[in-house]
């Protein structure tokens, strides 16, 4: 079974290469579907396969850049990418990220970085999960009320916090055509600065935070939030890939092997958004966030209670979340494709 | 008035772009990073060339990464597109984006 393992030239470790392809495909599907890079899933996955942590992070970012780029191209053809919005947000993201990274160095000098980052991560993810499920609950309640009143329940939407933010009219006011919104340019800049700052502190790409922010604060439709977020991830991923490789912490052979699976998986995930409504995507996203929270809490318990087996449990939670979500999306993709091809055959 | 506000907005953007330099200056000085050296003795052919390139210049290695990653991503992504188009999936449009 020697042929199943390949020696990585830079990291100097032997890696089970089918595991790289499986991880790449799974995260590619999820990334193309949700508009996330997937760092919180891939980095522990690579660490389990045998990579030292610094190489796991660098390799993940490198593959994420390629996967996000192809997903952005796919979403762009569907009209899901608002490039104007993405470019305006890029400035805030980069600035916020850099300030977040510098704050980490300051916290490191104080000796408080682990505590602050851990608890901030849990609080943030819990808030995001609450926001998503609260939104779904509000929508269900409004649907029931509209049905009871004899109205068309398909028009019901959940929380609409973005309407409050859109009412703040600080010039310059900008039309974002693909997103279908008209708001102050300072809103996406402020949101991207905040999400970039959080991403800088937590050491992630930011899609996990930026995608729901685009929906709930900026007011993008779900599909446009996914596509525009991927555009941001592609650019920040390319920058991250360059910087980590320059620091010598990228195993490019592994990144390429993952990318082969991820770039095809990302296409599947992106096309699957055609077959699932906006709220279906949000619901699945909420489940992904809950999986992430459980994984982090288990890891904290492993350290705090000195129970090393909980480290394996934490990793298992991440892998189960990745596998089950990507399988769900793949099945929806296959069902949607069958229906579309059958409809075309019936017409033709 | 509009022109003044646009000018103010442009200056604020320029200031935002300058902030990373201040943040970097506050970073607290240069630190020495651990340098990893790849073991080239185990490799021959293109792998030996690859590890030697890494050892000799991280800059060239980084440039190669920035070129290779998007290229490979696009090649396999386009291949997946071709397969899906061959099956008969419409890759150019979707229903109106709902919330």
- Per residue in B83-96, pLDDT (tens digit) is 888 877 777 666 55
How many CB pairs lie under 8 A apart between chains A and B? 179
Does residue B22 fall inside a structural domain?
A: yes
A216 confidence band (pLDDT: 50, 70, 90): confident
In the predicted structure, residue B48 carries a pLDDT above the cut 70: yes
Instruction: Give me the residue from B65, B73, B91 closest to A70, CB to CB.
Output: B73
In the predicted structure, residue B16 carries a pLDDT above the cut 70: no
Does residue B69 fall inside a structural domain?
A: yes
A51: left (phi over 0), alpha (psi -120 to 50) or beta: beta
Poorest-confidence range of A53-57, A153-157, A170-174, A197-201? A153-157
* Averaged pLDDT, A162-179: 83
B-contacting residues in A 148-177 (Cβ below 8 Å):
157-158, 171-172
- The number of beta carbons lying within 10 Å of the beta carbon of residue B52 is 14
Virtual torsion, Cα B64, B70, B76, B77, nearest 10 deg: 180
Instruction: Give me the residue from A69, A105, A158 closest to B28, CB to CB.
Output: A105
Give the position of tokens 């309407």: A163
Residues 6+ positions from A277 with CB-CB distance below 8 Å: B98
Is the ipTM higher than 0.90? The answer is no
**What pLDDT was estimated at residue A43?**
75
* Averaged pLDDT, A275-279: 77
**What pLDDT was estimated at residue B18?**
59
**What pLDDT was estimated at residue B33?**
58
Residue, of A18 and B24, whose pLDDT is higher: A18
- Runs of H (alpha helix) within A52-112: 53-77, 83-110
**What pLDDT was estimated at residue A96?**
84
Tokens, residue B58:
């991280």
Indicate the burial class of A140 (C-beta count within 10 angstroms; 0-12, 13-18, 19 or more): middle
Poorest-confidence range of A27-31, A214-218, A235-239, A322-326? A235-239
Q: Least CA distance to A238: which residue of chain B?
A: B66
For residue B37, give its domain range: 2-87
Q: Contact A264/B76, CB-based, under 8 Å?
A: yes
Average pLDDT, chain B: 73
**Quick one: which of A145, A267, A28 has its CA closest to B79?**
A267
* Averaged pLDDT, A191-210: 78
Does residue B96 fall inside a structural domain?
A: no
**Quick one: which of A279, A168, A167 has its CA closest to A221?**
A279
Does residue B19 fall inside a structural domain?
A: yes
* CA–CA dist A252, A195 (Å, integer): 28
Does residue B99 fall inside a structural domain?
A: no
Q: Contact B65/A242, CB-based, under 8 Å?
A: yes
Indicate the burial class of B74 (C-beta count within 10 angstroms; 0-12, 13-18, 19 or more): middle
Does residue B63 fall inside a structural domain?
A: yes
**What pLDDT was estimated at residue B5?**
67
* Averaged pLDDT, A39-57: 75
Q: Does A259 touch chain B (CB under 8 A)?
A: yes
Number of domains in chain B: 1
In the predicted structure, residue B32 carries a pLDDT above the cut 60: no
* Averaged pLDDT, A26-52: 79
* CA–CA dist A101, A93 (Å, integer): 12
In the predicted structure, residue B77 carries a pLDDT above the cut 70: yes
């Amino acid at each position: 079974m020697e042929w199943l393992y390949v020696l990585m030239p830079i990291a100097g470790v032997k890696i089970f290469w089918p595991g790289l392809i499986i991880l790449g495909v799974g995260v590619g599907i999820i990334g193309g579907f949700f508009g996330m890079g997937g760092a919180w899933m891939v980095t522990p996955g690579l660490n389990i396969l045998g990579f030292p942590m610094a190489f796991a992070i660098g390799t993940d970012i490198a593959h994420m850049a390629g996967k996000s780029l192809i997903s952005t191209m796919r979403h762009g053809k569907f009209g899901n990418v608002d490039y104007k919005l993405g470019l305006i947000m890029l400035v805030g993201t980069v600035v916020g990220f850099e300030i977040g990274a510098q704050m980490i160095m300051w916290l490191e000098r104080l000796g408080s970085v682990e505590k602050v980052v851990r608890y901030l991560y849990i609080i943030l993810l819990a808030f995001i999960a609450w926001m998503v499920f609260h939104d779904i609950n509000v929508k269900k309640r409004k649907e029931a009320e509209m049905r009871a009143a004899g109205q068309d329940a398909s028009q019901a939407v959940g929380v609409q916090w973005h309407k409050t933010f859109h009412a703040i009219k600080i010039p310059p006011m900008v039309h974002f055509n693909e997103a279908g919104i008209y708001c102050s340019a300072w809103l996406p800049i402020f949101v991207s600065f905040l999400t970039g700052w959080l991403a800088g502190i937590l050491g992630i790409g930011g899609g996990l935070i930026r995608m729901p922010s685009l929906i709930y604060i900026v007011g993008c439709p779900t599909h446009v939030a996914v596509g525009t977020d991927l555009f941001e991830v592609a650019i920040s991923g390319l920058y991250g890939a360059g910087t980590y490789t320059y620091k010598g912490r990228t195993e490019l052979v592994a990144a390429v092997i993952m990318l082969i699976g991820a770039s095809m998986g990302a296409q599947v995930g992106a096309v699957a958004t055609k077959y699932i409504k906006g709220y279906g995507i949000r619901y699945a996203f909420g489940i992904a966030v809950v999986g992430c929270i459980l994984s982090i809490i288990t890891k904290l318990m492993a350290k705090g209670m000195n129970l090393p087996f909980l480290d394996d449990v934490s990793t298992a939670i991440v892998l189960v979340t990745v596998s089950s979500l990507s399988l769900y999306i793949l099945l929806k993709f296959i069902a949607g494709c069958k229906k579309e091809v059958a409809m075309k055959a019936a017409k033709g | 008035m509009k022109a003044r506000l646009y000018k103010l907005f442009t200056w604020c953007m320029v200031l935002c772009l300058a902030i990373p330099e201040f943040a970097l200056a506050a970073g607290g000085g240069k630190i020495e990073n651990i340098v990893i050296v790849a073991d080239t003795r185990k490799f021959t052919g293109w792998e030996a060339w690859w590890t030697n390139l890494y050892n000799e210049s991280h800059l060239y290695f980084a440039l190669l990464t920035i070129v290779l990653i998007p290229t490979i991503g696009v090649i396999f992504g386009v291949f997946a597109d071709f397969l899906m188009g061959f099956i008969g999936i419409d890759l150019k449009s979707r229903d109106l984006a709902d919330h």
